[in-house]
Chains A and B, each alone.
Chain A
Amino acid sequence: MTWRIRGKKMLEKIRSEILSRREPSKPCIAICVSTGCTSLGSLELVERLKEELEKRGLTDKVDLKLTGCLGFCELGPRLTIYPGEIPYFKVKPEDAEDIVSQTIIKGQIIERLLYVDPSTGERIRRLEDIPFYRYQYRLLLENNAKIDPKNIEDYIALGGYQALAKALFEMKPEEIVEEIKRSGLRGRGGGGFPTGVKWETTRNAPGEPKYVLVNCDEGDPGAFMDRALMEGNPHLVLEGLIIGAYAIGASQGYVYVREEYPLAVKNITLAIQQAQEHGLLGEDIMGSGFSFHVKVHRGAGAFVSGESTALMSAIEGRVGEPRLKYIHTAVKGLWDKPSCLNNVETWANVPYIILRGADWFRSIGTPDSPGTKIFSLVGKVKNTGLVEVPMGITLRDIIFKIGGGIREGKKFKAVQTGGPSGGFIPEQYLDTPVDFDSLTKLGSMMGSGGMIVMDEDTCIVDVTRYYVDFLFQESCGKCVPCREGLKQARKILNHICEGKGTMEDLETLQDLSELLRNASLCALGTTAANPIMTSIEYFRNEYEAHILEKRCPAKVCKALVAYYNNPEKCQACGICLRNCPVQAISGEKDIVHVINQDRCIRCGVCFAVCPFNAVEKYSPATPPPAKYGVKVVRRKKEK
């Protein structure tokens, strides 16, 4: 049935119709089918569930809802059963039968699929009691669990497009801009620029038509919050965009999505189509007389294209290179017309602010950074996934309370925020509140929300080299400081990692960073200094170990590490011998295996496969001399 919504009352009517058609008691299985859970097999699970339901003739009596990302990707595939909101984790296709026969039919909870609290060993029945969720404030992500992103009715049933109706029929465009300004919403893409001010600039700028744009070119490695919103709740972003367009006076919008997110492209395209069919987008929106159109533009894989001027030039069909911003894009952007570009998460906040008011929004977070922020908490932390927290929470709370601390009982070393151009934050600053200004003070930045935790096994010099290498490759080459400066920095860092560095190199690196920061054309170059500066400032000892002692403290840098088979632990099982790709290991039954250092390429396979932890890493690369023909000392297998 296609209905076109005209007026606020009709939206209400349609919503109550949708709700009346739904029985709250009808069981519903909601399964995450976003990229993370799919890679863990959630689609197979869906198929099995369908089979099981069909077998029992329950296909019409149970809803299967395929939802977007629920955050806790580590323990996927994730599944929730309504009514009762029973959360299951790590569900395998084989569990489908039990889920239908026990939970759906008998209403019994399957204990083995519940979350186990690692500290108490207790199985947790309620989602809110799981530490990972308990300390979060899930505003934007909350509905991901309740919405099938391919179905506009789900969004409307939860009160969707009511903010748009309020904006169109009860507010003047100026009032909307004023409300956003008053809310203190700041750009979630990383810059932290006040959103309302940006809107006002575009609104007042001369020139027609005006454009509004969504930036979903989430190029920061280690960040996937925009993907989760686009895949899981595309109508929320779209509603925010339409409200923005109305407030700014734009008639055309663009959604820029990176091509590496095929599902996000699919879902937003479908959302646009559905909104158009129902009169929520296109000509004469909801009968208000306001017309607005949206197009999806897929990026083609270039990190720098996330920069505002580069992104606009990419939409124009050209190479995504930045230009100087003497005149802001808010005044002269896409095709030299006033253009307002905001991040996915920024747009997603708009409907909430319009509906609940600026004062409500200001009550969350800190006075200078109100609201929530989604982070992708990844790396060496126990609970990886997406977390949404109120601004002002400390890094320690995020990493240790929500994240559950470091994996395998290792020691925390640093957390890196803001993607490749952010900085490293060491342990002593973990009590810093997370907001735009505090992180910048530490030499890092909020960035789009990547939060990568590193433990004692992570080499800071190696990761810095990784970032510089990444930025060097992604540099568009237009300005000299970025193109040549990063090249030299990379060369120096490579030298240090290979044990060929000198202390003078550190000064050169700092000089180069200053140059990058002051002379580069766009933010890719200016912020490229952050990882270099913060790593030298907070982890100088690691650089010194590499340079002076030829030692990599984390035993990561290949040239400074040697693998050695401890004769006291080796059980001559032959596993390393078989797995070694270059036949560098010799040995036989009952005779301790020996690694030939001249042949070894330091790939680390023996270290990874040894069931007795007999293979040890040495840095500096001077292991004890190898002895051939030593008899094995038998011992019990270590666990």
Chain B
Amino acid sequence: MAGLSKTEILLKGLEILSEYYSLGLDKPPLSLELKRLKEEALRYMEALKQIRRKEEALKEVVKEIRGVNEVVDKYGENPSALIQILLDLQAKNHWISKIALLWISERLRIPLSQIYQVVTFYKAFSLKPRGKHLIRVCLGTACHVRGGPKIMEAVERHLGISRGETTPDGLFTLESVNCLGCCALGPVMMVDDKYYGNLTPTSAVKVLDKIRRGESEK
């Protein structure tokens, strides 16, 4: 019945009604009966919507599981490949969903608790969806003595979020990183896979503004 339109449902209702009449069940006035039928039709539509939502959710789950399968097949069902599998998934989706964790646990035969321990131990993994652009401000020693914390503060102020958070529009996720290995160019910040060196608080903010402008033009 999934493909029925609103009018079709209404007509179907009237058809049933005509059967009522033919069976002599025409006691209540027609207007009341019509109202009742309309309500019934609405309830039916609501249920249909729910089913659709469930269908969508199921499709998501299937997609997620397919994605996990692809990665797991690359490494084989080897428990020692757990971290490599998680890294690939993280790189692909920018986060690791509950379903992915459950399915990895199923396929590698590793208890979920152990996977959860690994995911929360290492910094590379995120259990929350990340923004479109990942900003990593380096707070390594070389950057620290050259003003890395000031860059971080400026970015935090500019975006109105703290490190580890995502902007409400889902555009940026801000993180700190211990060292990007570009110490000679400190302070350094990385947006997605691009490095920006020799920053000042003002120039760091300009970089982000430019990305934001580029996004709104799209």
Contacts and interface: CB of A to CB of B under 8 A. Distances in A.
A510 to B, nearest CB: 23
Given A259-B87, A376-B183, A380-B145, A39 B196 contact: yes
A548 interface: no
Contacts of A36: 182, 184-185, 197
Interface in B110-156: 110, 114, 117-118, 121-125, 139-146, 150, 153-154
B76 to A, nearest CB: 12
A39 B142 contact: no
A302 B123 contact: yes
A7 to B, nearest CB: 34
B181 A218 contact: yes
A40 B153 CA distance: 23
A220 B141 CA distance: 9
A260 B150 contact: no
A440 B157 CA distance: 42
B186 A300 contact: no
A227 B140 CA distance: 15
A320 B197 contact: no
Nearest to A300: B122
A463 B179 contact: no
A464 to B, nearest CB: 11
A450 interface: yes
Contact of A220 (B110, B123, B179, B200): B179
Contact of A450 (B117, B121, B141, B150): B141
Nearest to A221: B140
A603 B193 CA distance: 28
Chain A, interface size category, equals 35 or more
B141 A39 contact: no
Contacts of B200: 608
Given A320-B122, A603-B150, A605-B202, A420 B185 contact: no
Contact of A463 (B78, B141, B202): B141
B191 to A, nearest CB: 11
B115 to A, nearest CB: 10
Of listed A36, A302, A470, residue having the most chain B CB within 10 A = A36
A218 B180 CA distance: 10
Interface string B182-206: 1111101000011111001110000
Given A302-B122, A319-B117, A603 B154 contact: yes
Contact of A317 (B80, B145, B193, B197): B80
Nearest to B117: A319
Interface string B86-112: 110000000000000000000000100
Given A39-B197, A416-B141, A315 B80 contact: yes
A452 B121 contact: no
Contacts of A314: 83
A74 B79 CA distance: 43
Contacts, number: 157
Interface in A37-60: 38-40
B178 interface: yes
Contact of A579 (B86, B114, B140, B202): B202
A497 B78 CA distance: 49
A491 to B, nearest CB: 19
A297 B86 CA distance: 12
A334 B151 CA distance: 41
B202 to A, nearest CB: 7
A420 to B, nearest CB: 7
A378 B83 contact: no
Interface string A380-407: 1000110000000000000000000000
B144 A463 contact: yes
B48 interface: no
Interface in B152-180: 153-154, 157, 177-180
B25 to A, nearest CB: 68
B82 interface: yes
Contacts of B125: 300
Interface string A321-350: 100000000000000000000000000000
B18 interface: no
B50 interface: no
Given A222-B179, A298-B84, A300-B86, A384 B184 contact: yes
A317 B79 contact: yes
A76 B188 CA distance: 15
Nearest to A319: B121
A318 interface: yes
A299 B122 CA distance: 9
B117 to A, nearest CB: 5
A452 B185 contact: no
Contacts of A218: 179, 181
Contact of B121 (A220, A221, A320, A384): A320
A196 interface: no
Contact of B181 (A40, A227, A300, A385): A227
Contacts of B202: 579, 605, 608-609
Given A35-B195, A452-B145, A470 B178 contact: yes
Contacts of B121: 302, 319-321, 476
B81 interface: yes
Contacts of B188: 39
A452 B197 CA distance: 17
B200 to A, nearest CB: 6
Nearest to B180: A260
A604 B200 CA distance: 11
A316 interface: yes
A219 interface: yes
A300 B122 CA distance: 6
A385 B188 CA distance: 14
A303 interface: yes
Given A379-B142, A466-B141, A603-B201, A385 B184 contact: yes
Contacts of A76: 185
A450 B181 CA distance: 11
A458 B145 contact: yes
Contacts of B194: 39
Nearest to A476: B121
A35 B81 CA distance: 27
Contacts of B180: 35, 260
Kindly name the residue among A39, A76, A259 whose own CB sees the greatest number of chain B CB atoms within 10 A.
Answer: A39
Contact of A262 (B80, B82, B193): B193
B178 A303 contact: yes
Given A36-B182, A378-B184, A384-B183, A222 B140 contact: yes
A220 B195 CA distance: 19
A594 interface: no
29 contacts: A35-B180, A35-B195, A36-B182, A36-B185, A73-B185, A218-B181, A221-B144, A223-B179, A223-B183, A224-B183, A260-B177, A260-B180, A262-B193, A297-B83, A300-B122, A301-B124, A317-B80, A318-B114, A320-B121, A320-B122, A321-B121, A376-B142, A378-B183, A380-B145, A450-B141, A470-B178, A474-B178, A603-B157, A605-B154
Given A221-B144, A298-B83, A321-B121, 14 more contacts: A35-B180, A35-B181, A36-B197, A74-B184, A219-B179, A221-B143, A302-B121, A320-B121, A376-B184, A379-B146, A452-B142, A466-B144, A603-B153, A605-B202
